[in-house]
Amino acid sequence: MKTIGKYIMTIATLTILVSCGNSNDGDKSGALTSSKAEKVYVAPGEHDEYYGFMSGGYSGNVTVYGLPSGRMLKEIPVFSQFPTSGYGYSEETKAMLNTSFGFVPWGDAHHPDISQTEGELDGRWIFINENNTPRIARISLETFETEEIIELPNSAGNHASSFVTENTEYIVAGTRFAVPNPQRDMPINEMKGKFKGPLSFVSIADNGRMNLEFQLNMPGFNYDLAHPGRNKSHGWFFFTSYNTEEANTLMEVNASQNDKDYIAAVNWKKIVDYVKNGGGKKVSGTYAHNVYDEKTHSATSTMKEGVISINPKDVEGAVYYIPIPKSPHGCDVDPSGEYIIGSGKLSTDLSVYSFEKMLTAIENKDFVDDAYGIPVLSYENTIAGVVKQPGLGPLHTEFDGKGNAYTTFFISSEVVKWKLGTWEVLDRLPTFYSVGHLMIPGGNSRKPFGKYMVALNKITKDRYLPTGPELEHSAQLYDISGDKMELLSDFPTHGEPHYAAGIRADLIKDKSKKYYDLEENEHPYAAKSESESKVTRDGNEVHINMTMIRSHFSPDNIEGVKVGDKVFFHMTNLEQDFDVPHGFSVIGANTSEILVMPGQTKTIVWEPKREGVWPFYCTDFCSALHQEMQGYVRVSGKNSNTPIKYSLDE
Amino acid sequence: MKTLTKTIILLVVSICFIGCNNSAKSSDSGTTSSDEGRASQKSGQAFIKDEGGTPNALQLAISSEDHTTLVAAVQAAEVENALVNVGPLTVFAPNNAAFAKIDEATLNSLLEPENKSKLAFILTHHVAPANYPIETLKKNATKGRKLYMASGKYLEVTEKDGSMYVDGIKILGTVNVSNGWVHVTESVILPRD
């Protein structure tokens, strides 16, 4: 009987293993002890605990996810035209994409960062940088719309950005590709000592408005990533740099020759005081500053000229270099502000620097060298500790607020958990595959939430059903609340989510805007009621102030438009209810649709090329009679005498 | 021995069930059903907490002292969700005095659970899936356009001495709501056949 009993137990155990198959590549033992599916399951109608804001990378936008479910909630257009809503196509939003190079329809978004108060996430705005045409954008976390974009002159490759200081005083923008400053025609191979790497400091006003305050005109290395000091190191900013070789070709070899590159430690408060007292020199630099107004529902673009440039040698005690092994990438500061973690991406060790030691070394003038007049501190006298052989290709580190750090390793495709202070490796788990950034909600603030960690991977391969050669990137969600990390789920992300930011949902969701107040609409062509709707001709321009409400347009019959006219459809959504947008499109328009939120006015231009009667319609399934929400425009010949006439249900 | 084996298997199977239970976390609110696939009487758009903004047709009726009977009827017929839908809707809302014109026995019998579908039919006869402000109703009267109601039947609109009537029942007042229009009527509009 004993034998039979054992036999039954064996079969039963096997059954459990088979039927409870929630195991996955990362952790085969956890399946029996807890249900991972339950941890990420958010029942229909329930809300996620966290918002995750993923950079869209080369999509130019930001995608919003719910965590832990991994459900995508929204794509926020930022640096790229977005036909879904008409962003960058509508007359009101084209100005958002204006630059000193003219209209640029696309951008390369990188590092989102949420505004902070006293070092904690406050959920007012999220900022994100653009790498190709250097810019920083500010997105409102009430409307989830891009409200402002500022361009950065004299810079190239805005990668070390858009990290905010702990009271959202400043955002920085580095120069990843050293360039002549000012730009000029010169031989490329004479770059050494002539190119520059300006670091821009942009201030944030109480209402969120950004202003380019000054540029620190650093030597022409490549400034890659940055983080502000926090807590005790508040007032400082730390930037990694590579290519201290100042090579200009076959960089993968020539920029990897020096044994050490530098972390630039910048006392920005000192420089702010210096500028306030009249320091610095105004230099040329043209840049666009684009602001979206929630009342007029329109953006304006102002071209600005000139920026205050600071020579780092001129501000005593403000700028130092710290040596760091092998082409560093990530530069992260722990919640206490004491430790600065530099990830030499070709190094086998992680270097952790001490803020206190750095101050002492500065006080003792413990310099080993100088680089273009900037003092270089000694590695030995600033290092706090080294995490030995943690993995291959360290990139980025975030924190859980419980004394632990989590670092990604690109080459060995893993996240490694280690202890601040003892530098011992506590745990490691594979990611799938080749992880770049990782994100712990609040993980770069004084107070990380420390429950989940998301790994943002560059390579997808076989993670999901194949979709041809092009695959969305993959993300993995880990539970980091216990001693060991636990891989919970795997979901695709849109574009390339270089970095992400996360915040507890309750800090944002209750103030999320539901619709725009029609009474506050100050758009010059708004029709706030059907009686205000009208059609007016001004030369060959025809302005149609049209209203939208379930389920008709007013007017919906228009005559008197001629071939060669420029017709402006100014569409006002009269609804005053949550989640009742209307869309608009017209046959032959050489632009996208527009999606108009309740209380909002948006405009598209239509230049009719052929005579006839042409329909327009609502593109958003708004109501039971959505299919009836349509109208006609009669287009007459160029020289016809058809008078302007418009009506609804005449 | 057979019994023992059965017991063990049963035990193991139940453990397996418990261990594998990925079901939804129990709902905090207690009153809402977690089974949204089959909307129970307390789930759906009607029960979204939505502070601020223009009220919808149901919220308006609930906040009106003159429409307590209508609200009771809507709740008895469980047609709340139909009144909060994106619509657009035009609701003819008999006030308490209008309901009082119906004899009490008939009214009470309509509120009985077994007459739920009959009550629902009468109520849907007060709702048009359309956007009819008073100006449009006037045009309907002039142009002889009937109103198609959610009951599947039609109402006739007429104008007399500056007042609007549906099937001969006078409209006393009009309120714009977030999902359409509410016209208060002096009588309940009973389907003609």
CATH number of the domain residue B62 falls in: 2.30.180.10
Biggest CA-to-CA distance, chain B: 93
In angstroms, the CA A178 to CA A423 distance is 34
Between chains, do B87 and A623 touch, taking CB under 8 Å as contact? yes
Q: Which of A131, A175, A141 is nearest to A155 (CA)?
A: A175
pLDDT score, position A481:
97
Structural domain includes residue B10: no
Are A525 and A603 spatial neighbours (Cβ–Cβ below 8 Å)? yes
Are B185 and B142 spatial neighbours (Cβ–Cβ below 8 Å)? no
Q: What is the mean pLDDT of chain A?
A: 94
List alpha helices for chain B, DSSP H.
Answer: 2-19, 57-63, 68-77, 80-84, 96-100, 104-110, 116-124, 134-143
Residue B99: phi and psi, rounded to 5, are -65, -30
Q: Which of A325, A368, A318, A323 is nearest to A345 (CA)?
A: A325
In angstroms, the CA A205 to CA A215 distance is 18
Task: State which residue of chain B sits closest to A648, comparing Cα positions.
Answer: B136
The DSSP output letter for A58 is G
Are A285 and A307 spatial neighbours (Cβ–Cβ below 8 Å)? yes
Structural domain includes residue B77: yes
Which residues from chain B sit within 8 angstroms of residue A38, using beta carbons?
A: 21-22, 25
> What's the domain count of chain B?
1
Which one is predicted more confidently, A465 or B53?
A: A465
Which candidate from B20, B56, B180 shows the least CB-CB separation from A20? Answer: B20
In angstroms, the CA A200 to CA A195 distance is 16
Residue A20: is its pLDDT beyond 80? no
Which residues from chain B sit within 8 angstroms of residue A5, using beta carbons?
A: 4, 8
Burial letters A119-132, b for 16+ CB under 10 A, else e: bbbbbbbbbbbbbb
Structural domain includes residue B99: yes
Which one is predicted more confidently, A387 or B11?
A: A387
Between chains, do A514 and B21 touch, taking CB under 8 Å as contact? no
Indicate the pLDDT class of residue B68, thresholds 50, 70 and 90.
very high
Residue A428: is its pLDDT beyond 60? yes
Dihedral Cα A27, A32, A33, A38, nearest 10 deg: 80
- The count of other CB atoms within 10 Å of the CB of residue A636 is 18
The DSSP output letter for A648 is S
Strands B127-128 vs A582-586: parallel, antiparallel or unpaired: unpaired
Owner of token pair 């609701």: B91
Between chains, do A514 and B52 touch, taking CB under 8 Å as contact? yes
Residue A399: phi and psi, rounded to 5, are -130, 155
pLDDT score, position A18:
41
pLDDT score, position A22:
43
pLDDT digits (tens, 9 = 90+) for A562-617: 999 999 999 999 999 899 999 999 999 999 999 999 999 999 999 999 999 999 99
Are A525 and A544 spatial neighbours (Cβ–Cβ below 8 Å)? no
Whole-number percent of chain B with pLDDT over 70: 73
Q: Which of A61, A260, A285 is nearest to A182 (CA)?
A: A285
pLDDT score, position B31:
39
Indicate the pLDDT class of residue A558, thresholds 50, 70 and 90.
very high
Task: State which residue of chain A sits closest to B35, comparing Cα positions.
Answer: A44
Structural domain includes residue B158: yes
Rounded to two decimals, the ipTM of the complex is: 0.72
Residue A420: is its pLDDT beyond 90? yes
pLDDT digits (tens, 9 = 90+) for A434-449: 999 999 999 999 999 9
Between chains, do A43 and B24 touch, taking CB under 8 Å as contact? yes
Between chains, do B86 and A623 touch, taking CB under 8 Å as contact? yes
Sequence-distant (6+) residues with CB within 8 A of A363 are: none
pLDDT score, position B81:
83
Name the token pair of B150. 């959610």
Which residues from chain B sit within 8 angstroms of residue A623, using beta carbons?
A: 86-88
Q: Provide mean pLDDT across the span A416-425.
A: 97
Q: Provide mean pLDDT across the span B158-168.
A: 96
Structural domain includes residue B23: no
pLDDT score, position A591:
97
Which amino acid belongs to residue A175?
A: T
Q: Provide mean pLDDT across the span A116-139.
A: 98
Residue A9: is its pLDDT beyond 80? no
Are A615 and A577 spatial neighbours (Cβ–Cβ below 8 Å)? no
In angstroms, the CA B149 to CA A626 distance is 17
Structural domain includes residue B87: yes
Preferred mutation among A11, A13, A16 to probe B, highest tally of B CBs within 10 A: A16
Domains with residue ranges and CATH for chain A: 50-511 (2.130.10.10), 523-647 (2.60.40.420)
- Within 108-167 of B, beta carbons closer than 8 Å to A belong to 129-131, 136, 139
Structural domain includes residue B15: no
Q: Which of A223, A172, A217 is nearest to A198 (CA)?
A: A217
Q: Which long-range contacts (CB under 8 A, 24 or more apart) does A139-143 make?
A: A139/A62, A139/A76, A139/A78, A140/A208, A141/A114, A141/A508, A141/A511, A141/A512, A142/A511, A142/A512, A142/A513, A143/A294, A143/A513
In angstroms, the CA B2 to CA B12 distance is 15
On whether any CB of chain B is under 8 Å from the CB of A509, the answer is no
pLDDT digits (tens, 9 = 90+) for A622-635: 998 999 999 999 99
Structural domain includes residue B104: yes
pLDDT score, position B49:
63
* Per-residue CA distances from A192 to A179, A255, A257, A438 (Å): 10, 13, 15, 35
Q: Which of A157, A147, A28, A31 is nearest to A96 (CA)?
A: A147
Indicate the pLDDT class of residue A21, thresholds 50, 70 and 90.
very low
Q: Provide mean pLDDT across the span A494-506.
A: 96
Which residues from chain A sit within 8 angstroms of residue B58, using beta carbons?
A: none
pLDDT digits (tens, 9 = 90+) for B120-133: 999 999 999 999 99
Indicate the pLDDT class of residue A3, thresholds 50, 70 and 90.
low
Chain A closest-CA separation from residue B188 CA (Å): 25
- The count of other CB atoms within 10 Å of the CB of residue A101 is 10
- Within 29-88 of B, beta carbons closer than 8 Å to A belong to 32, 34, 36-37, 43, 50, 52-54, 56, 85-88
Between chains, do B12 and A12 touch, taking CB under 8 Å as contact? yes
pLDDT score, position A346:
83
Q: Provide mean pLDDT across the span A221-232.
A: 96
Dihedral Cα A87, A91, A92, A98, nearest 10 deg: 70
pLDDT digits (tens, 9 = 90+) for A250-277: 998 999 899 899 999 999 999 999 999 9
Q: Provide mean pLDDT across the span B95-102.
A: 94
Are A35 and B21 spatial neighbours (Cβ–Cβ below 8 Å)? yes
Task: State which residue of chain B sits closest to A17, comparing Cα positions.
Answer: B16
pLDDT score, position B164:
97
Indicate the pLDDT class of residue A23, thresholds 50, 70 and 90.
very low
What domain range is B110 assigned to? 54-190
Between chains, do A43 and B34 touch, taking CB under 8 Å as contact? yes
Q: Provide mean pLDDT across the span A482-504.
A: 96
Which amino acid belongs to residue B97?
A: A
Q: Which of A159, A156, A226, A224 is nearest to A195 (CA)?
A: A156
Residue B29: is its pLDDT beyond 80? no
